[in-house]
Amino acid sequence: MKYQELKTIEDQVNTKGSKLWTQMNDNSKALKMRTLFVQQHGGFFIQDGRYWKWKSPVEEKNGYWLKNVQTDEKVFFENMSEFGRNNGLTAVKICELLNGKRKTYKGWTAVEIREVKDGEGSYKKEKKPKKEKISITKSAILVDMTTNELIHITNIFQFAKTNKIDYGHLKKVVSGKMKSYKNLKLYNPLEKYNASSEG
């Protein structure tokens, strides 16, 4: 059986061109949307070139913050050795800043004091939750909306090809993304019950 990974909220918000990414970037209300998103999901947004990238609460906890003493700019980084190389710092001195053993070093100071190892590395890092997986099936039960006939499909692709209908649209019906297509809809055994209950 094949499985497909479900997209996480991080995938959706950081995938360029997605609906959620567009709301956070190419929108007149982008700042407001980013603020609401952080209130709901935590973490923060960091500018990456022209656009904004969301850092999850796990990434924030696993990363580090330093502040430039001259400009007051707060800088977030996840790779201590890389940040050190780019800014003429050593991992040992960065750790001393973060541990509170040193107030400033080469124009940098800690945004927050917390325990990290004296040297290369950090405290024990958290792991991101594993992506959920769903099984992919080729079969489905559809209803002909004209005749109310139940149609058992064992191979969606082959059914679409045989009946000369669009596979992509049919797949959306099967996955619940479309209500119907070509008078076909996904069979719901509780539909009659729900309709009678509402009546």
- 67-89, pLDDT tens digit by residue? 999 999 999 999 888 999 999 99
Q: What is the mean pLDDT of residues 126-143?
A: 72
> So what's the pLDDT on residue 121?
46
User: And the tokens for 65?
Assistant: 């913050």
Integer Cα distance of 35 and 37 in angstroms:
5
Looking at the structure, tell me whether residues 72 and 45 fall in a common domain. Answer: no
3-state percent breakdown (helix, strand, coil) of the chain, nearest 5: 35, 25, 40
Looking at the structure, tell me whether residues 68 and 30 fall in a common domain. Answer: no
Assigned domain for 188 exists: yes
Q: Which domain holds residue 176?
A: 137-198
Assigned domain for 74 exists: yes
Q: What is the mean pLDDT of residues 160-181?
A: 89
| Residue 177 pLDDT > 60 | yes
Looking at the structure, tell me whether residues 70 and 42 fall in a common domain. Answer: no
Residue 142 or 3, more confident: 142
**Count: domains in the chain:** 3
pLDDT in tens, 92-102: 999 999 988 99
> So what's the pLDDT on residue 196?
39
Assigned domain for 115 exists: no
Looking at the structure, tell me whether residues 77 and 50 fall in a common domain. Answer: no
Assigned domain for 132 exists: no
Mean pLDDT of the chain: 84
Assigned domain for 147 exists: yes
pLDDT in tens, 101-128: 999 999 999 998 877 765 444 455 677 7
What angle (nearest 5°) sits at the alpha carbon of residue 188, between those of residues 182 and 191? Answer: 105
Assigned domain for 130 exists: no
Assigned domain for 193 exists: yes
Looking at the structure, tell me whether residues 10 and 31 fall in a common domain. Answer: yes
117 contact partners, CB below 8 Å, separation of at least 6: 95, 123
Residue 53's pLDDT band (boundaries 50, 70, 90)?
very high
> So what's the pLDDT on residue 193?
37
> So what's the pLDDT on residue 198?
46
Looking at the structure, tell me whether residues 50 and 79 fall in a common domain. Answer: no
Assigned domain for 38 exists: yes
Looking at the structure, tell me whether residues 93 and 46 fall in a common domain. Answer: no
pTM check: above 0.85: no
Looking at the structure, tell me whether residues 79 and 46 fall in a common domain. Answer: no
Q: Give, in order, the Cα–Cα distances in Å from 107 to each of 69, 73, 115, 130.
A: 5, 11, 21, 39
| Residue 28 pLDDT > 90 | no
